[in-house]
Amino acid sequence: MANLFDTWALDREIVLVKVLNHPREKVFAAWMDARALAEWYGPTGLRIENHEADIREGGVWRFDMVGLFEGQERRFANLVRFLQIVPNERIVMDHGTPDPNDPDRFRATVTFDEQADGKTVLTMRQLHPSPERRKIVIGFGAVEYGLQTLDGLAAWLDA
């Protein structure tokens, strides 16, 4: 039986792109450092608490996104499995909850394309399990939250 993520389908895809004013080695390095990820990753208003960060092919990053909602602290458990890491070029990962049977887990591919002027075009492609799931995550703000994450990366790199 074929894996759900073996075939890329546009009706399950979300694509986010950001031009960063830094060489791709620096941009890529921000993804490889767990402390750095905790500083810039995630939507505005949420902080990252790392629990496990083995950032290599076959490794996992387990973290919580933590924030206040209506005066109450809420935690969102995340688990990223790194499937492929090509230094300064590409990261492929599965992203979901720590539940090994998470039906909403998605595949993310991040590419780093250096431009002649030393800037980097970062492209993040998410492939969701179904067109319906894609619509749901777009509906709850995944595009905006993803762009906030990339803005956080840009600000971290510029600091």
Beta strands in 55-105 (DSSP E): 60-69, 72-86, 90-96
Sequence-distant (≥ 6) Cβ neighbours of residue 46 within 8 angstroms = 65, 66, 67, 76
Q: Is the pLDDT reported for residue 6 higher than 80?
A: no
CATH architecture of the domain formed by 12-44+87-158: 2-Layer Sandwich (3.30)
Token pair listed for 11: 């009706």
β-strand partners of 75: 66
Predicted pLDDT at 9: 81
Mean pLDDT of 105-132: 97
Kind of pairing between the strands at 72-86 and 60-69: antiparallel
pTM of the model: 0.91
Q: Classify residue 93 by burial, with Cβ atoms within 10 Å: 0-12, 13-18, 19+.
A: buried
Is 144 in a helix, a strand, or coil?
Answer: helix
